[in-house]
Amino acid sequence: MVPHTLRRVMFRRPRAAGAAAAPIETRAALPSEEKGAEPGLEISPNDPIVPYFQSAPGAVELRSLELHSPALEQMRAQGITMVVPLVTQGELIGLLNLGPRLSDQEYSPDDRRLLESLAAQVAPAVKVGQLVREQEAEVRARERIEQELEVARLIQQNFLPKELPELDGWRVAAYYRPARTVGGDFYDFIELPEGRIGLVVGDVTDKGVPAAMVMAATRSVLRAAAQRLLEPGTVLERINETLCSEIPPNMFVTCLYGVLDPGTGRLRYANAGHNLPIVESGGEVSELRATGMPLGLLPGMSYEEKEAVIAPGSSVLLYSDGLTEAHDPGREMFGTPRVRQLLAHGAVADELISDLLADLDRFTGAEAEQEDDITLVALARAGGAQELRPVLSFSVASAEGNEREAMRRVGDAAAAAGVDATRLERLKTAVAEATMNAMEHGNRYDPELPVEIAVARSDTVLSVRITDRGGARDIPQAEAPDIEAKLAGEQSPRGWGLYLIENMVDEVRADGDGDRHTLELITHLKGHGEGR
């Protein structure tokens, strides 16, 4: 018994469960080298032969079959006389198709039994093969997507500024965090004649490589136009004309472009449908409004141009909708009011960005996947009431008793700055304790190692920074010491320093690097902040 033809037919099922109306793609799957050598076999999903084969108890002789089936006719035309359905777990996954025996005799009951037992063994093996192939295809598809995302990420990173501009009297901070799928956010700082600087924040609709390409193109056009044209509105008009003819009709770009004169704080800006920048000035926040259509939608657009002045002590935040449109687990949006609120607290550039991100992470939940790219650019102009001005700096050697000198000198400076008597005594105690900690825990009473003390003040606060050489370390959360345990002799009677410090001033901050550790004590000046 030599089968004339042995052919596998694969049945593909639609991906979505319950999509019964969708046509089942059923086609002959042949090894590539056999393609063309054998005729293919198309079985329509609603061909009555499918349920027939699926429920057939064994080999089926086509000759005796009476069905109105196009597939049956096709098979007969191809010379197939017997079919052994490959069924596993009730699913028809293939067919063994046989032509007439070479001897022209009928298939014997033994032949049939042999074929049926062969089919019973082949069916699960074929099924496993199919599953493996499907999985391999899925892995390949995933890898392709990952690779594409990586390319998009690379393009984007390559076109983001490598460093922040250094502007006299300004603090500048920028932050970009791509979503997993990489959107089309971008930002840029463009050096312009006469010390001015171009500020750009934009967002391309769409994600992945196409968005990254458009972003790169927009950035290049913008940079070129910005060098030639001074008016932000004209710059956006020019980019719009270029993009309209060059990007796909379903894509567009929102973009805020401003020209800042760092000397005067003058900011001329135009906006192509991007999120409105927010300005904070003396605790008041406002949005910089200018109208204009997104770029790349319609040619011949004009862009309103406005001007604002960022006063000393004020700051401005440019951002993308990845920030305001982030959701919490209950699908509530982060929204602009939260951003405005944080700005109203008067946080400065980099601080503002880290505060915003911390707030956002709390809002979305730590586990949440970021929905869209997030871009933040913050500029804070020095000066004004919040700016700290140096008052006094000195150092003391690490030797017992030297905290008194620190206490005396800081006390005199604080009194001169107008710290009231009660706060002055508290501050002196905090300074003494912090200096002792710096000498003991930071410098291990090494007389070669100084403790540096710097006093600065703004219109509202006095800051005392006490720095040792002990390297960055966390200040442990000062808990109220357990006096009962101390009195009962169950605990050392010591351990009051940090607790005192935290209770004696309005705020304690710690920072440091590999070498230095600084504790900053903040005391509100008279009439500011809450009394204890």
Provide long-range contacts, Cβ within 8 A and 24+ apart, for 216-221: 216/155, 216/158, 216/159, 217/243, 217/246, 217/247, 218/186, 218/243, 218/253, 218/255, 218/295, 219/159, 219/186, 219/188
The answer to whether 44 touches 70, Cβ cutoff 8 Å, is: yes
Q: Which stretch binds other proteins (CB under 8 A): 132-140, 195-203, 397-405, 513-521?
A: 397-405
Nearest distance in Å: CB 517, other proteins: 19
Tokens for 94, please give them: 């293939």
Comparing CB distances to other proteins, the nearer of 323 and 432 is 432
Nearest distance in Å: CB 494, other proteins: 4
One of 401, 476, 527, 531 touching other proteins (CB under 8 A): 401
In the 8-state DSSP scheme, what is residue 368? P
Rounded to whole angstroms, how far apart are CA atoms 449 and 404? 17
Residues β-bridged to residue 459: none
Rounded to whole angstroms, how far apart are CA atoms 200 and 178? 17
Rounded to whole angstroms, how far apart are CA atoms 107 and 81? 10
Comparing CB distances to other proteins, the nearer of 67 and 416 is 416
Q: At 154, which amino acid appears? A: L
Q: Scanning residues 423 to 462, which ones bind other proteins (CB under 8 A)? A: 425-426, 429, 432-433, 436
Q: Scanning residues 458 to 487, which ones bind other proteins (CB under 8 A)? A: 480-481, 483, 486-487
Nearest distance in Å: CB 488, other proteins: 7
Comparing CB distances to other proteins, the nearer of 263 and 496 is 496
One of 408, 444, 473, 509 touching other proteins (CB under 8 A): 408
Rounded to whole angstroms, how far apart are CA atoms 256 and 233? 10
Three-state secondary structure of 466-531? EEECCCCCCCCCCCCCCHHHHHCCCCCCCCCHHHHHHHHCCEEEEEECCCCEEEEEEEECCCCCCC
Q: Is 407 in the site for other proteins (CB under 8 A)?
A: yes
Nearest distance in Å: CB 396, other proteins: 13
Comparing CB distances to other proteins, the nearer of 215 and 501 is 501
Q: Is 56 in the site for other proteins (CB under 8 A)?
A: no
Nearest distance in Å: CB 481, other proteins: 7
One of 492, 527, 530, 531 touching other proteins (CB under 8 A): 492
Rounded to whole angstroms, how far apart are CA atoms 445 and 451? 10
One of 497, 505, 522, 525 touching other proteins (CB under 8 A): 497
Nearest distance in Å: CB 503, other proteins: 5
Comparing CB distances to other proteins, the nearer of 382 and 500 is 500
Nearest distance in Å: CB 401, other proteins: 5
Q: At 13, which amino acid appears? A: R
Comparing CB distances to other proteins, the nearer of 88 and 395 is 395
Q: Is 493 in the site for other proteins (CB under 8 A)?
A: yes
The answer to whether 310 touches 380, Cβ cutoff 8 Å, is: no
Q: Which stretch binds other proteins (CB under 8 A): 235-243, 389-397, 468-476, 497-505?
A: 497-505
Q: Which stretch binds other proteins (CB under 8 A): 268-276, 285-293, 471-479, 494-502?
A: 494-502
Comparing CB distances to other proteins, the nearer of 105 and 422 is 422
Pairing of strands 253-261, 284-287: unpaired
Q: Which stretch binds other proteins (CB under 8 A): 27-35, 66-74, 104-112, 491-499?
A: 491-499
One of 206, 305, 403, 468 touching other proteins (CB under 8 A): 403
Residues β-bridged to residue 468: 517
Nearest distance in Å: CB 504, other proteins: 8
Rounded to whole angstroms, how far apart are CA atoms 203 and 321? 8
Comparing CB distances to other proteins, the nearer of 38 and 420 is 420
Nearest distance in Å: CB 500, other proteins: 6
Total number of residues that touch other proteins (CB under 8 A)? 29
One of 29, 503, 516, 529 touching other proteins (CB under 8 A): 503
Q: Is 207 in the site for other proteins (CB under 8 A)?
A: no
Give every CB contact of residue 32 below 8 A, 6+ residues apart in sequence: none
Nearest to 241 by CA among 299, 303, 291, 305: 299
Give every CB contact of residue 446 below 8 A, 6+ residues apart in sequence: 398
Nearest to 66 by CA among 51, 82, 48: 48
Comparing CB distances to other proteins, the nearer of 407 and 456 is 407
Q: Which stretch binds other proteins (CB under 8 A): 3-11, 47-55, 306-314, 418-426?
A: 418-426
* Buried/exposed code over 439-467 (b: 16+ C-beta within 10 A; e: otherwise): bbebbeeeeebbbbbbbbbbeebbbbbbb
Q: Is 47 in the site for other proteins (CB under 8 A)?
A: no
Q: Is 250 in the site for other proteins (CB under 8 A)?
A: no
Q: List contacts with other proteins (CB under 8 A).
A: 400-401, 403-404, 407-408, 422, 425-426, 429, 432-433, 436, 480-481, 483, 486-489, 492-497, 499-500, 503
